[in-house]
Amino acid sequence: MSGAFGLAKAERICSRKLIETLFNSGAGKSLSAFPLRLVYMPIERDTSDGLIPPVQAQMMVSVPKRYFKRAVKRNRVKRQVREAYRKNKQLVLSQLLDTPDKAVAMAFIWMDGKLQDSAFVEQRMINLLARLGERLCE
């Protein structure tokens, strides 16, 4: 899928090194809008530590097995979160256009044991991305 509303492979975090840095280094900052929690880390794109992302915003979704034992339900939630991000990622990308040497890595973590409808998930995603955009432009 291409275009402004696509979610390319390059926009997803696949690097174990980047994931470990995001969660374990203490550099990751957090925002919450129940049932989602966003852990993000601003990245300089000219670093020499091997964490140079090909795009300005990369994301991943995590749904712990603690909340949904069945993979079908976890996959549904991940699909809803990816769809909500895909539709509203411009809220973050518009803030990053001014600074081409900066990027952001984001991890969305589900924190509820109940399934939610897609409209509710999208509303919370808009809230998180708008707040993230404000923090990035500071």
Per-residue confidence (pLDDT) for residue 51, from 0 to 100: 58
> What residues in the chain have per-residue pLDDT under 70?
1-3, 46-53
- Give the pair of three-digit tokens for residue 34: 């129940």
As for how many domains the chain has, the answer is 1
Per-residue confidence (pLDDT) for residue 22, from 0 to 100: 92
Per-residue confidence (pLDDT) for residue 124, from 0 to 100: 97
32-42: b or e for each residue (b if 16 or more CB lie within 10 Å)? ebebbbbbbbe
Domain extent at residue 92: 11-136
Residue among 80, 82, 60 nearest 12 (CA): 60
Per-residue confidence (pLDDT) for residue 46, from 0 to 100: 66
| Residue 2 placed within a domain | no
- The CATH number linked to 116 is 3.30.230.10
Per-residue confidence (pLDDT) for residue 125, from 0 to 100: 97
Residue among 20, 33, 12, 109 nearest 67 (CA): 109
Per-residue confidence (pLDDT) for residue 98, from 0 to 100: 81
| Residue 61 placed within a domain | yes
The length of the chain is 138
Per-residue confidence (pLDDT) for residue 55, from 0 to 100: 84
Kindly tell me the burial class for residue 133, based on how many C-beta atoms sit within 10 Å of its own C-beta (0-12, 13-18, 19 or more).
middle
| Residue 1 placed within a domain | no
DSSP 76-97: HHHHHHHHHHHHHTHHHHHHHT
Per-residue confidence (pLDDT) for residue 137, from 0 to 100: 81
Per-residue confidence (pLDDT) for residue 47, from 0 to 100: 55
| Residue 5 placed within a domain | no
| Residue 18 placed within a domain | yes
| Residue 115 placed within a domain | yes
